[in-house]
Amino acid sequence: MSAQQIDESWQLRASCRGPQSTVFFPPATFERKDEKLERESRAKEICRTCPVKSPCLSYAIQIKEPHGIWGGLNEVERKQFAGPSAH
């Protein structure tokens, strides 16, 4: 464990908890582009009103999460949001 502690208590209040959590990450099988866009759209809609959207996004950027929708952004959007230093 690193010396840096990350507060993850916000996860308990996340709107993505439960059975709908599957839309936040790509499936194990092939996913067509239109299917990906639809899945991400559903995930982002859940994020839109989530009470912990901001700490979720901060967490994903801090740990450089390479997969899924976090804080309403996908992988590419998080990299753009975080700026050049995140690459």
| 29 falls within a domain | no
Contact 51, 43 (CB under 8 A): no
pLDDT at position 86 is 46
| 39 falls within a domain | no
More confident residue, 2 or 22: 22
| 22 falls within a domain | no
The reported pTM is 0.82
pLDDT at position 6 is 62
More confident residue, 64 or 8: 64
CB count within 10 Å of CB 48 equals: 10
| 82 falls within a domain | yes
Give the pLDDT confidence of 13-50 residue by residue, as tens digits.
Answer: 999 998 889 999 999 999 999 999 999 999 999 999 99
Please report the beta strands in 1-87, taking only residues with DSSP state E, as ranges in sequence order: none
Tally of structural domains, the chain:
1
Give the pLDDT confidence of 47-63 residue by residue, as tens digits.
Answer: 999 999 999 999 999 99
Rounded Cα distance between 39 and 36, Å, is: 5
